[in-house]
Chains A and B, each alone.
Chain A
Amino acid sequence: MREITFAEAICEALLEEMERDSTIFTYGEDIAKQGGIFGTYKCILGKFKDRIIDTPISEEVIYGSAVGAALAGARPVVEFHFADFIFTGMCSVVNQIMKIRYMSGGQKKLPIILRGPDGIARAAAAHHSQSIETIFMHVPGIKVVIPSTPYDAKGLMKTALRSDDPVIFFEHKRLYKTKGPVPEEEYFIPFGKADVKKEGKDITIIATSRMVLESLEAAKELENEGISAEVIDLRTLVPWDKETVINSVKKTHKVIIAHETWRRAGWGAEIAATIYEEAFEYLDAPIKRIGARNVPHPFSPPLEDAVIPHKEDVIKAAKEILSL
């Protein structure tokens, strides 16, 4: 199968759906001239007059306008440039996009996609490194997609572009250049369906985004030491695939949850609490959660490395659990 990058996969999904559906239009900062800072608009440059638009740096309007556009019959795909900057328009996101359908008594569909890069880059410091997906899992009203491979990114983006609800789509900066097999034929990946990226029987590692790759690396090294780890990529957090998780817990009886966002009150806490509530009797050991240390991201590379989680943290947690 051909291999393409994560960024290309995102763009392909956008291209195919924009060709099919003339109500889709996309806007944000720095997308129409160079194809986006990470190249996720390259393949649509020059193809859709008036449907790919550079906006002013006016974030509250960037997000709030999506509501009006969707209610008036369009399908806006809104770029957030860096996830960190969504906070500058957060009221429009949380109080308008995420509530208006409900508050109207479900009168209309609200097909809005917010998408763009999140996560660490390399020494980009605290205003350009955050992973903020948990907030959108906590506040109800938006579906949360956070893929780890080009294949998943394309299939999930295709689904998002046909979804009738608001979707927030997080693309990790360190993943954009990663390559992976993506078929030429059209396919869709449903929301709420986790992917078991590696099967195993001794321990379950639940992860998303960059931490899936770190966990797979960790699993490979654990394999060398005779430990068989199962790696589950949740792919979407709202909804999340409880069934796949619980079934894996029933098989391995041991769990690690790994995310790049802060450990404290990160989404791993929600997954862990659910496992405790619904599958406590299957657990042989306390669940371990891996996440960033609870500080803003420091600039200096050695500090940044100390704050964000790596495969070594996964390996260490697995060994600790298994030695219990």
Chain B
Amino acid sequence: MGVNLLDLYETMVRIRLFDTKAEELFLQGKIPGFIHSYVGEEAVATGVSANLRPDDYITSTHRGHGHMIAKGADLKLMMAELYGKKTGYCKGKGGSMHIMDFSLGVLGANGVVGGGIPIAVGAGMAIKLVRKSDQVVVCYFGDGASNRGTFHEGLNWASIYKLPVIFVCENNMYASTAYMPETTSVLDISARAVGYNMPGISVDGNDVLAVYEAAKEAIERARRGEGPTLIEAKTYRLKGHFVGDPELYRTKDEVKRFWEKEPIGRFEKKLFEEGILTEGKKREIWEKVEKEIEEAIRFAEESDFPPPEDALTDLFVDDRGYDY
């Protein structure tokens, strides 16, 4: 296996701690707006991204911190963006739901559910028709987004033009308050691939290695020019839809049951059994990541807010504002 298992573990820990901390900071009133936590879904982005090169693209969602971190984002710039600071990835113009880093191939988190799907398809077209490279695009979206027109139109496109796009549906069983089986025509979202004449596969999204393997195959296929794949990663959203969600649509018991299947503990157990992880190594990893996050928070807190006049910059490249 061409992947370092401890790297996978560390990435998952980094995502877990970042979002756990972000939630805490939000509840303390330090982070404005909305936070959508990726806690419990870390194995998906981690397993997929382990197959990506720096020049590959991803499109992300409103629940996008994990996608960013797995792609190698700078925690300082992420945290500063969450705080609305000038030093953040988007200079405070985007916030949690809109973090983007085009240089890292992150073509945007998105406040519009399913909004990233056509963007991913377009990047796939540019790779195939203009760049003529073997780059790929990973398009992350939720179970809820798979009911949007953009999903159905986008998969058809990617299929007919054989685009190097890997559609990764994070089926976490809920779309906000809606229970997935009540709003979705199929129980396995991968079944929808049939209608678009592309491979469709469902994997255990809480098993980082299963995700890694499925993504590896799909990504290699895309790099060879053989077209798109739909991967459904079955997982579970352990936190509310957003921080502060009253969560009246599910029982505490259900959530508790799924905590037992959360991906980090599961992977850790395997790593311990195989002697790859030791208590000492574990502590080392967690402490290292905790320190990174503390530094990111310090960076965010010490940074300045953008001055009000910055509100009018960045709309057009000539930066003249045209506020009239």
Contacts and interface: CB of A to CB of B under 8 A. Distances in A.
Interface string A269-311: 0000000000000000000000001111011111111110000
A124 B305 CA distance: 16
B130 interface: no
B111 A127 contact: yes
A57 B148 contact: yes
B175 interface: yes
B33 A303 contact: no
A58 B149 contact: yes
B194 interface: no
B33 A124 contact: yes
B249 A301 contact: no
Interface stretch (B42-50, B197-205, B257-265, B309-317): B309-317
A208 B205 CA distance: 48
A123 interface: yes
Contacts of B112: 84-85, 88, 127
Interface of A is mostly: loop
B246 A125 contact: no
B97 A127 contact: yes
Interface stretch (B155-163, B176-184, B272-280): B176-184
B92 A303 contact: yes
Interface string A105-147: 0000000000000000011111110000000000000000000
A122 B33 contact: yes
B308 interface: yes
A195 interface: no
B111 A30 contact: no
B147 interface: yes
B68 to A, nearest CB: 16
Contacts of B182: 54
B84 interface: yes
Interface residues of B, number: 46
The winner among A125, A300, A307 for most chain B CB atoms within 10 A is: A300
B323 interface: yes
Given A298-B311, A303-B92, A29 B149 contact: no
A107 B321 CA distance: 47
Contact of A300 (B85, B113, B149): B85
Contacts, number: 129
A85 B149 CA distance: 13
B312 A88 contact: no
Contact of A29 (B95, B178, B248, B309): B178
A56 B249 contact: no
Interface in B142-176: 144-145, 147-149, 175-176
Contacts of A54: 177-178, 182-183
A197 interface: no
Contacts of B84: 123, 299-303
Given A60-B149, A125-B97, A302-B306, A295 B33 contact: no
A22 interface: no
A292 B93 CA distance: 16
Contacts of A300: 32, 84-85, 92-93, 95, 305-306
Contact of A295 (B92, B178, B184, B312): B312
A294 B315 CA distance: 9
Contacts of B92: 298-300, 303
A56 B183 contact: yes
A247 interface: no
Contact of A294 (B144, B183, B322): B322
Nearest to A262: B323
A303 B149 contact: no
Contacts of B114: 57, 88
B149 A125 contact: no
B98 A293 contact: no
Contacts of A201: none
A55 interface: yes
A177 interface: no
B110 interface: yes
Contacts of A30: 176-178
B34 interface: yes
A33 B183 contact: no
Contacts of A59: 148-149
B32 A123 contact: yes
B113 A57 contact: yes
The winner among B33, B147, B249 for most chain A CB atoms within 10 A is: B33
Contacts of A29: 175-176, 178
The winner among A85, A125, A293, A307 for most chain B CB atoms within 10 A is: A125
Nearest to B92: A300
Interface in B69-94: 84-85, 90, 92-94
Contacts of A56: 144, 147, 175, 178, 183-184
A264 interface: yes
A55 B312 contact: no
A123 B305 CA distance: 13
Interface in A223-252: none
Contacts of A127: 97-98, 110-112, 115
A95 interface: no
B320 to A, nearest CB: 12
11 contacts: A55-B183, A57-B147, A57-B175, A124-B34, A128-B111, A293-B312, A294-B322, A295-B321, A301-B84, A305-B308, A306-B311
Interface of A: 29-30, 33-34, 54-60, 84-85, 88, 122-128, 264, 293-296, 298-307
Given A30-B178, A33-B178, A303-B92, 20 more contacts: A33-B177, A33-B249, A55-B183, A57-B145, A59-B148, A123-B84, A124-B34, A125-B98, A126-B98, A127-B97, A264-B324, A293-B311, A294-B324, A295-B321, A298-B311, A299-B95, A300-B95, A301-B305, A302-B306, A304-B311
